[in-house]
Amino acid sequence: MFDKKSDLFISSADKIFYRVLGILHRADQGNSLEEILSKIGLTASKLPPQGCIEFRKRWTHAGFEERLNGLGFKS
């Protein structure tokens, strides 16, 4: 996944996963369950919050903010 040429997409219900994607500037490689279901033509009613687009966006952005603030990497 960390190969710069990778076109791998991953979904998770863990916020740390999306934070790491944000820190690594790889937000485009994460998908929520809601997005995956939408791509195959299914609707996502009654998903837990961890499966929703907003969850992915919130925690990916949090990771990106951590990167901007110099957090997430050891010197």
Rounded Cα distance, 33 and 38, in Å: 8
pTM for this prediction: 0.82
Q: Tens place of pLDDT for every residue, the chain, 75 residues?
A: 556 666 777 889 999 999 999 998 888 889 999 999 999 999 878 899 999 999 999 999 999 999 999 887 765
Domain ranges of the chain: 10-68
- Phi and psi, residue 14, nearest 5°: -100, 125
What are the φ/ψ torsions at residue 10 (nearest 5 degrees)?
A: -135, 145
